[in-house]
Structures are given as structure tokens and as C-alpha cells.
A and B are shown apart, each in its own frame.
Chain A
Amino acid sequence: MKNIEVPALARVEGEGGLYIGLENGKAVEIRLDIYEPPRFFEGFLKDRFLQEVPDITARICGICPVAYQMSAAYALEHALGVKISPQARALRRLMYCGEYIESHALHIYMLQAPDLLGKESALELAAESPEVVKNALRLKKIGNELLRIIGGRSVHPVNVCVGGFYSWPDEKALKALLPDLEWGLNAALDTVKLATSLHYPYLEIDYEFVALHHPDEYGVIEGGVLSSTGRKLSIVEYETGYIEEHVRHSNALHSHTVDNNTYLVGPLARLNLNHEQLLPKAKQALKDYKIQLPLKNPYKSLIARAIELVHFYEEAIQLVKEYKPTGPAHVELKLKAGEGSGATEAPRGLLYHRYKIDANGMIQFAKITPPTAQNLPRIEADLFALTPRIINMPEAEATRTAEHLVRSYDPCISCATHFLKLKVEEK
């Protein structure tokens, strides 16, 4: 096979490169190069006041700022021994519904679907199927609208604070969104139908799946860290099971389990581990479309996202109907020195934060483990497994299939440090 070089992989969040070294038709070296420049968040968080942290960490990622605000808020609340009110907790889940809807609709229709439909972009798809793209944009818009009502704006919302929220969002504005949410639930079900009708490249991997698990709800905030191997850890114990290290070719850190295994976080992991906790319509969709779990094909994470899209529309409707703001929106904080961990499920997977603070509430130490850093070694391993299947393909198809694999992860390279470049080279 000739060398393949794609100067920049498109439709991912951030900048990176892909290198596949071949020897006698076999992959001998695979590297996902991250040249997204380092921005040193953990460095400049030091000596900032704890209440500034959610605003700063949001800037790690424009696609999933809510996840960065939530994990930070939970970690700092843990450090202070603060428990937020049940209403604030419900509002955090509702806000997360907005982020899942916006992020999943973007990824399903604008980032990954073009690969499955042989298009370069959703805009190109729009020329052929304008209704599909218009509905996709509306699906996404409703998520952003939910974020705007709760957070002031969809990218880097401004209402999350340590202790809850700065203020309760307007009840009327939220309730006025119900007809749109009902429309979205049906459009999400249509998305599952579309997702299950597409033809995916074949690849089955025996992953170790890792996700937050909560016995009473689909794990997003709180709960414990569950692995498909049966390993159960509390959030505080996370670092005893999962280790991050710095590898030479990358500005991102890579993670592995304490047993030195790669593992997978994100929609496949969540759906496979937590499908019992899905809301009824999402559960029904699994049955109706005969989706066999566990899903082990990384390309099919699009199906998992579609099921989650149904779930989060369903949950958003429920939470908006029940929304009744009472009492203060946040707990008053009593500052003290301490240490706290927080983990929530970003749309792309588990996001862990740990902070140490001094008696004045100033950050002394910060550690942030983004989902994509945990998935990077897994993406490399998947590419290894994929290579024998693509080396006999025509060059353009091989490149696309490899790129598509990386994109199916919805990697947020801005998070893990962001451009992908594919280079396949015969040694």
C-alpha cells in the first residue's frame, strides 16, 4: 500500500494527527498525534478562588463546557463538604440534558453521519436531503435553547456555581419549551430508526467499558465508577483504578487501568453498563429496533448516541414538567481547607476532577482527566485492529475508514489538550 497522508482530519473537535506505520502489509506502529497546543489549565487554576473554577474549566471545551463546570462544581463541593439542594440537583441534570442533546445531535448528524452517507459534510448532505439536515439543526437547537434558558448562553454558560446555581431560571421560559421538547423526542426516535438503518464498517472489540453508574437513574452525575470487568470504585477512589501518563508523541495525557489495560469511556460504555436505567421510551427503542447489547463496534457508538438522545429528551420533558424552583438556588459556602474529587459523564465519557484548596478557598492543586485522554490509547488500539481490514482497500476508502473510526469516538482533542492528520507509511 502506498503512503496515505491526510493533512488534517476534519469534523473533530481539535487538532491531531494519525500515523499508521506498515511493514509487510501489517501495522507495526500506530500513533494518534495530538498537536493541539497545551494550554496548561491545571497550571493557571492554581491560586484562583474556587468560585472562579467552573468559569475557567468551561473554557477547556466549547462543545461540552457544562461537563467541565459540573465535574468542577462537584469536586469543590466535595472538598467543602457541601450538599446541593434536590431542586438544584434536578436542574443540573436538566442542564446536562441540554448539553447531551446539543452535543449528540451535532455529532450524529454533522460530524459522523456524513461518513456513513458518503458525504464530506452535513452541508453537502443538505443539498440532497434538506429535511434531514433541517430536522437535525432543530434537534440541536432545542438543546442549545435549554442551555440558554438555564445558563444564559449555550457555549460557556454562566449560571453554574459551587453550591448550585447563581439563580433559578425562568419557569415560564422553560415550560414554553415543552412543545419543542415533545417534537424533539419524536425526532430522536426517528434518529434511532435512521441510525439502525445505516451500514457500519465491521469491527468488534472486547472493550473494558467504564462509566459512572447510579442505581436509580442513567448515570451522569454522582454514583460510582463501574467497569465491565466488575471493578466498582467510588468517585474518590477513581485514581486507584485509572492512571494517566504522558507519552512522547502527544500533548495529551493517556490513561490506562491499574491492570495496565486500555479502556473505553463514552456512549457505548454508558449504554452497555447502564441500559437498565434508561427511561421507558429509550428502553422501548432498544427493543423496537432490536439493538443487541453489548454493542462492541466503535462505529456503532452513533446508535448509542441516538438512544441517549431519546433518553435525554425524555428526561428533559420530565424535569421541565416537574420544575418548581423553591428556596435559594445555591448553598452558602463555608470555606475551609480540603481536598475533593468529582466525576460526571461528559457526552464523550467520564470526566474526573480533583482539587486541593486552602482555608481561603484558593486552589492549591488541580487534576483534570478528560474523556478523550482516557480513550486515546483505545483509539490507537482500535486502529491497530482495523488496519488488516483496510490495507487492501483503495487508498481513499482506507483513509476514510480510518478517519471515520477516529471520528466515531467524537474525540475532543481540545479537551485532551485538538486537528487530525492521517499518515499511513510503509516502513
Chain B
Amino acid sequence: MTTKKPAVAVYKFSSCDGCQLSILNMEDELLNLAEAIDIAFFLEATRAQKPGPYDIALVEGSITTPHEIERIREVRANAKVVIALGTCATAGGIQALRNFASAEEYAKVVYAHPEYLHYLQTATPIAEHIQVDMELWGCPVNKAQVIEVIVALLNNRRPNLPPHSVCLECKRRGTPCVIVDKGIPCIGPATQAGCGAICPAMGRGCYGCFGPARDVNTDAMANMLLKMERYPGETARLFRGISGYAPTFRTIVDEILPANEEAK
């Protein structure tokens, strides 16, 4: 162990601030955490800024402007370990819905003078621009998982993150399957655990905000969900949401959209 505390920087790109807030929301752990690490750069929390290089960079948000491409490269050059925090940073987030449409059209809907704006056609995950050492999914991230990742790094071990889908979390909570029990479409079987299966516990379907789980039989899932839609296009919209630009979810929708068109 070195005696020097590791320097941590927290950055924001295109996002809602919710993942950074998850750090400020560590009400029981924040003061202890601040003893174990040196919060060297964290604009939402402090005016004080220590220059890099940093040991760990936590990055929230996706890349949506030319300037952000430059900034993320500087982040990489200035940090030993880069961790992408949250579904914006790992899959583009909700704003990556523009990747399936025309950003110009969107800009015209929102702004009277789109010519004043500087933006990229796409909103993309951090790993599309720089090498990322670790990804933590969630919209927002689960703060217990953020702590686990930091503690693991401090102790030079691999973080213990669940590899399974939301289904197992439902089983653990004793929540009856909303698909089987209530006929409610749910993409929990295809979604990474981490949230605690809160949506099914509230009597609604999972909408995939922790991104795709590994080794999912997506075809079987999509076929089942298509038969139980409550409104036309529900399955496609469930997958093409918060984590819609994640490759697994993207592929599912690309496959079912043509089928939807034929059904019309």
C-alpha cells in the first residue's frame, strides 16, 4: 500500500447529473470516502481543483459535441484508470435516441435557431472514443456498485458485480414474475441486474435502464413480448429507450421493426 491517497476526478459530459449525484447521495459513506481518496476534481461538489494526472477518472455522460471529443481525450491522457459511469457513458443514454433519427430534425423541433448550436449527429458511449478500463451501467448507477468499484480499485482486486439479469433479483426479492403473473411486458430477462428489480416490485415491467445482460436469448424474448403488447410497437419502444443504443438492444429492434411494418 502506498501512503498517498489516490487522486480521483469526476467529470460530466452530456447527461442529467444523476450519476454524479449518486456520489453526493452516499450520505453514510461520503465523509469516509473523502478520507480514503483525494477528491481532486469534482465540479459539482467543490470549487477546489487540483491538477492531474489523476489515479481514477469517473466519467458521467455521453459524447454529443465536437468539444466533448477533445475533452474526453484529455481525460484519458490525464488519468491512469478511466471508469465510465452510468448508461449515458456506457451506451449513449436517452439522448442516443437521436442516433436512430436525424439530429437536425430534433434541433428544429426544440430550437428556433438550430444554426446557433454545435452538436454531433450522434450521442455515443465513452468507449467509442477512448479506451475505457471499466464500465458501470445504470440510469442512474447504483451507489453501492460505485462504492464497490472504488473499494475494489483501492484494494487492487476485481469488483464484484452481478453478471446475471434482473430476473434473479426478482426471485431474490420474492417478486412474482410480472410477465407470467400479470401479462405485463418486461425486459428484465434481457437486462443486467444492479437496480434491485425495483420496477417489477412496483408492479410494472423493467425498461432496461441497466443495459443488456450477457448471453441473452433475445429472439425468444422479443417473440414472446410481441405477442403480449398493450399498444402497437411496445416491444420495440421498451428496447429502444434509455439503453437503446447498446448493441444487443439495437440488434433486437432492427430485427423486429421490419416485422412491425409488415404487420401494418
Tell me, in angstroms, the Cα distance from A291 to B256 when the chains sit together: 62
Tell me, in angstroms, the Cα distance from A167 to B198 when the chains sit together: 11
For chain B, residues 9 to 65, give those with C-beta under 8 angstroms from any C-beta of chain A.
Answer: 12-22, 24-25, 27-28, 30-31, 34, 39, 43-49, 64-65
Q: Is B110 an interface residue (CB 8 A)?
A: yes
* Contact (A155, B203) CB under 8 Å given A44-B101, A59-B94, A122-B45: no
Which residues of the partner chain B approach A414 to less than 8 Å between Cβ atoms?
15-17
Tell me, in angstroms, the Cα distance from A130 to B199 when the chains sit together: 37
Q: Establish whether residues A49 and B140, one from each chain, have CB atoms under 8 Å apart when the complex forms.
A: no
Residue in A46, A65, A126, A138 whose CB lies within 8 Å of B27: A138
* Contact (A62, B21) CB under 8 Å given A46-B109, A156-B139, A361-B231: yes
Main secondary structure of the interface of B (DSSP, over half): loop
- Shortest distance in angstroms between A145's beta carbon and chain B's nearest beta carbon? 9
Tell me, in angstroms, the Cα distance from A185 to B217 when the chains sit together: 51
Q: Is A316 an interface residue (CB 8 A)?
A: no
Q: Is B76 an interface residue (CB 8 A)?
A: no
Which residues of the partner chain A approach B27 to less than 8 Å between Cβ atoms?
137-138, 140-141, 144
Q: Establish whether residues B140 and A156, one from each chain, have CB atoms under 8 Å apart when the complex forms.
A: yes
- Shortest distance in angstroms between B167's beta carbon and chain A's nearest beta carbon? 17
Tell me, in angstroms, the Cα distance from A123 to B117 when the chains sit together: 36
Residue in chain B with minimal CB distance to A48 = B237
Digitize A38-79: 1 where CB-to-B-CB distance is under 8 Å, 0 elsewhere.
Answer: 111111101011001001100111110100000000000000
Which residues of the partner chain A approach B97 to less than 8 Å between Cβ atoms?
44
Q: Establish whether residues A155 and B25, one from each chain, have CB atoms under 8 Å apart when the complex forms.
A: yes
Residue in chain B with minimal CB distance to A14 = B17
How many residues of chain B get a CB closer than 8 Å to chain A's CBs? 68
Q: Establish whether residues A62 and B17, one from each chain, have CB atoms under 8 Å apart when the complex forms.
A: yes
Pick the most buried of A36, A40, A140, A158: most chain B CB atoms within 10 A of its CB: A40
For chain A, residues 99 to 153, give those with C-beta under 8 angstroms from any C-beta of chain B.
Answer: 106, 110, 114, 120-124, 126, 130, 133-134, 137-138, 140-141, 144, 152-153
How many residues of chain A get a CB closer than 8 Å to chain B's CBs? 72
Residue in B46, B101, B139, B198 whose CB lies within 8 Å of A10: B46
Q: Establish whether residues A152 and B199, one from each chain, have CB atoms under 8 Å apart when the complex forms.
A: yes
Q: Is A31 an interface residue (CB 8 A)?
A: no
Q: Is A37 an interface residue (CB 8 A)?
A: yes
Tell me, in angstroms, the Cα distance from A9 to B111 when the chains sit together: 25
Residue in chain A with minimal CB distance to B199 = A158
Digitize A150-173: 1 where CB-to-B-CB distance is under 8 Å, 0 elsewhere.
Answer: 001111101101000111000000
Which residues of the partner chain B approach A12 to less than 8 Å between Cβ atoms?
44
Q: Is A8 an interface residue (CB 8 A)?
A: yes
Residue in B45, B65, B110, B113 whose CB lies within 8 Å of A37: B65
Q: Establish whether residues B17 and A418, one from each chain, have CB atoms under 8 Å apart when the complex forms.
A: yes
Q: Establish whether residues A40 and B44, one from each chain, have CB atoms under 8 Å apart when the complex forms.
A: no
Which residues of the partner chain A approach B119 to less than 8 Å between Cβ atoms?
37-38
Residue in B20, B28, B139 whose CB lies within 8 Å of A59: B139
Which residues of the partner chain B approach A290 to less than 8 Å between Cβ atoms?
none
Q: Is B188 an interface residue (CB 8 A)?
A: no
- Shortest distance in angstroms between A154's beta carbon and chain B's nearest beta carbon? 6
Q: Is A419 an interface residue (CB 8 A)?
A: yes
Tell me, in angstroms, the Cα distance from A36 to B110 when the chains sit together: 15
* Contact (A8, B43) CB under 8 Å given A121-B48, A246-B112: yes
* Supplied contacts A13-B17, A15-B12, A152-B202, 11 more A-B pairs, CB within 8 Å: A8-B43, A12-B44, A40-B106, A48-B237, A49-B233, A62-B20, A121-B47, A166-B202, A246-B111, A418-B12, A418-B15
- 18 residue pairs of the A-B complex, CB under 8 angstroms, read A15-B12, A37-B13, A39-B94, A40-B103, A42-B110, A43-B109, A48-B237, A59-B93, A60-B16, A62-B16, A62-B17, A137-B30, A137-B31, A152-B196, A156-B139, A253-B111, A403-B47, A418-B17
Q: Closest 10 interchain pairs by CB?
A: A62-B18, A43-B106, A121-B46, A152-B198, A40-B106, A141-B27, A120-B48, A44-B97, A10-B47, A137-B27
Name B's A-contacting residues (CB within 8 A): 12-22, 24-25, 27-28, 30-31, 34, 39, 43-49, 64-65, 67-68, 93-95, 97-98, 101, 103, 105-107, 109-113, 116-117, 119, 123, 139-140, 195-196, 198-199, 201-204, 207, 209, 231-234, 237, 241-242
